[in-house]
Amino acid sequence: MKIAFYTCFFGADSNERNKIPPCPSKLHDCFFFTNNPNTYARLENTGWTPVFVDIPIKNNLTADAMDAKHLKACPYMYPELTGYDATCYFDSALKVNTDEVIELATKAFTYSNYDMLIARHPFISATWPPSARSEFANAMLQPRYEAERDKYEKYMEEQIRSGLLETDDIHYATGFIVRKNNMEMRKLGEVWYRHILACGIECQISFFFVQQMFKGKIYGIEPYSCFKAF
């Protein structure tokens, strides 16, 4: 399987998310996208292939976080990430176990109809039933999410009125995603990104609803089975 690993950081030097995790592989291509010149310079001799994204730093946690969402949702739109059978996205605060990723992806994508591997949420998915409002309540404890409270509430109400479920049998954590580079996942990415724009930067809320449209294509792996906090 030809797979690319990628992560990103968009924002100011002082942002707590400004981390460079260990490069996950010497055998597979690994890309780090950033709009921060100092972070870009720090990538030298790390094993990462640095990619500079020429958009301004906003010096605002919410706006800078939103700049990362298109890359997260739609990797196939970036020339560096085309030409692969699959991509593995992970937040820059995570360290990935490459062998586990390759083994899981090879089995899932070869012997099943799944197109995406993503971790079940470590605690919300364990409560019954998992719900968008549980994710929302947890997110509101963080100032960068609480700033968009009204936007999230409006978005959730609109999705429920549209016929999507307020509760489901699973909830995912979107900090780690392995997906095929195929038309179904391109469609999911474009739908998800539109929902992110409508919902806000807490993209686990929007993914709760989007995943309902792609049942049978997404496989929930054990939390932390392929990664851990860095």
List, in sequence order, every residue forming a beta bridge with 90; answer none if it has no partner. Answer: 176
pLDDT digits (tens, 9 = 90+) for 137-159: 999 999 889 999 999 999 999 99
Q: What is the pLDDT of residue 124?
A: 79
Q: Which residues of the chain have pLDDT under 50?
A: none
Q: What is the pLDDT of residue 230?
A: 81
Which contiguous run of DSSP H or E holds residue 30? strand 30-34
Question: How many domains is the chain partitioned into structurally?
Answer: 1
β-pairing, 30-34 vs 94-96, is unpaired
User: What CATH number does the domain containing 122 carry?
Assistant: 3.90.550
Crossing angle between the packed helical segments 183-199 and 149-161, to the nearest 10 degrees: 130
List, in sequence order, every residue forming a beta bridge with 4; answer none if it has no partner. Answer: 87
Q: What is the pLDDT of residue 128?
A: 78
Q: What is the pLDDT of residue 43?
A: 98
β-pairing, 49-52 vs 86-90, is unpaired
Q: What is the pLDDT of residue 225?
A: 87
Residue span of the structural domain in which 117 resides: 3-229
- Look-up: residue for tokens 């709760």? 208
- The structure tokens listed for 167 are 């509760």
- The structure tokens listed for 53 are 């994204």
Q: What is the DSSP letter of 167?
A: B
Entry pTM: 0.95
> If 0-12 CB within 10 Å is exposed, 13-18 middle and 19+ buried, where does residue 2 land?
exposed
Can you tell me the distance from the alpha carbon of 82 to that of 107, in angstroms, rounded to the nearest whole number? 22
